[in-house]
Amino acid sequence: MNIPLSAHKPPLRVLIAAPRGFCAGVERAIEIVERAIGLYGAPVYVRHEIVHNRFVVDGLKAKGAVFVEELDEVPDGAPVIFSAHGVPKDVPAAASKRGLDWLDATCPLVSKVHREAERQLEAGRHILFVGHAGHPEVIGTFGQVPEGCMTLIETAEDVARLDFSAGEPLAYLTQTTLSVEDTAEIIAAIRDRYPDVAGPKAEDICYATSNRQKAVKRIAPASDLVLVIGAPNSSNSQRLVEVAERMGTPARLIQRASDLAPEWLDGVETLGLTAGASAPEELVREVIDLLGEFREVREEETISARETITFKLPRQLTS
């Protein structure tokens, strides 16, 4: 990118959201890959992107990780890791049948949804699953129960089209990375139509997703533009863009500082900045450093919550 430089750089106030960036599930998944490479030696195979961030994936490739789409691409005897988004039950079963050493990097909060699905099935309930079609987490959760036991709900309008009777035993669960507001609307529609529907003891949308959306709500009203660092296939990052736009503030999703177009900042005096749960802090600093090349940046961090959650690693990596 060619940045026009001048003797006088106009000021730019940058409101940095906190929390932002890596969540505990992402940190755990990355550490699983790094420790596996140390334990087994390179190459270690990873089924699908370990997390939705190209910078992270490329960094792990450089250390010896090989990313594949399906298990049949993994050589016999090689170690394989399943991504943080979770996988259908038949994937680890197939890995075990082939005698592969496998490690599950599924986020524990996604695994919690999997267990809830199993419990609702055991209770004889059909599951209404709120999520986005085609997302790996949705595919993994549907793969926890037999086909036909779960129905995908993407909008409140989908609820109106359901043909279950009022007395039919139903339960609802949700993807962990959804819009808090959209999901509340859909759940309200489900409960309105099916008052006896069973729900999870605690909401399925994860703490990191909720916290990052709340943080954007704090900075967006005072910003002329909000930048969200994250991948196009990152659900939680896309939701942050939507949150800012709902607050009436233009927002753009970028993967790296190089994606930033200088003309976006025309007329911008205050810039909001955040990062999705799969984006490392290194990318935040990269964007701020680039901004500093053509604007006099004044950083202000806005803290809406503090996160202290950590997750245990698989036993194979701690023994």
Domain annotation covers residue 62 = yes
Residues 288 and 237 both lie in one domain: yes
Q: What is the CATH number of the domain that holds 184?
A: 3.40.1010.20
> pLDDT for 228-267, tens place per residue?
999 999 999 999 999 999 999 999 999 999 999 999 999 9
Please tell me the distance from the alpha carbon of residue 256 to that of residue 20, in angstroms, as a whole number: 15
pLDDT of residue 2: 52
Chain centre to alpha carbon of residue 147? 25
Which residue bears the tokens 């055991």? 122
- Label residue 203 by pLDDT band (50, 70, 90): confident
pLDDT category of residue 4 using cuts at 50, 70 and 90: low
pTM given for the model: 0.93
Burial group, residue 78, by CB count within 10 angstroms (0-12, 13-18, 19+): middle
User: What torsion, rounded to 10 degrees, do the Cα atoms 284, 10, 226, 211 define?
Assistant: 50
Question: For the chain, what is the domain count?
Answer: 3
Quick one: 80 and 161 in the same domain? no
Q: Rounded to an integer, what distance in angstroms lies between the CA atom of residue 116 and that of residue 11?
A: 51
Query: How far, in whole angstroms, is CA 308 from its chain's centroid?
Result: 18
> Are both 16 and 29 inside the same structural domain?
no
Segment 280-297 shows an average pLDDT of 97
Interior CA angle at 275 toward 215 and 107, to 5°? Answer: 95
Contact yes or no for 313/26 (Cβ under 8 A): no
Residue 5: inside a domain: no
From the candidates 69, 118, 137, 296, give the one annotated as an active-site residue. Answer: 137
Asked whether residue 2 is assigned to any structural domain, the reply reads no
Q: Is 70 a catalytic residue?
A: no
Confidence of residue 212 (pLDDT cuts 50, 70, 90): very high
Regarding whether 149 and 125 lie in a shared domain, the answer is yes
Is the residue at 75 inside a domain?
A: yes
Predicted confidence at residue 201, as pLDDT, reads 85
Mean pLDDT of 13-27: 98
pLDDT attached to residue 318: 87
C-alpha–C-alpha distance, residues 13 and 21, integer Å: 20
CATH of the domain at 92: 3.40.50.11270
Max CA pair span of the chain: 72
Q: Which of 168, 193, 218 is the C-terminal boundary of a domain?
A: 193
* Separation in Å, CA 132 to CA 12, 62, 170, 252, 290: 36, 31, 20, 21, 34
Per the structure, the complete domain to which residue 182 belongs is given by: 108-193
272 touches 217 (CB < 8 A): no
Please report whether residue 259 resides in a domain: yes
Q: Does one domain contain both 219 and 233?
A: yes
Is residue 15 domain-shared with residue 47, that is, in the same domain?
A: no
Q: Is the same domain home to 98 and 115?
A: no
Q: Is residue 154 part of a domain?
A: yes
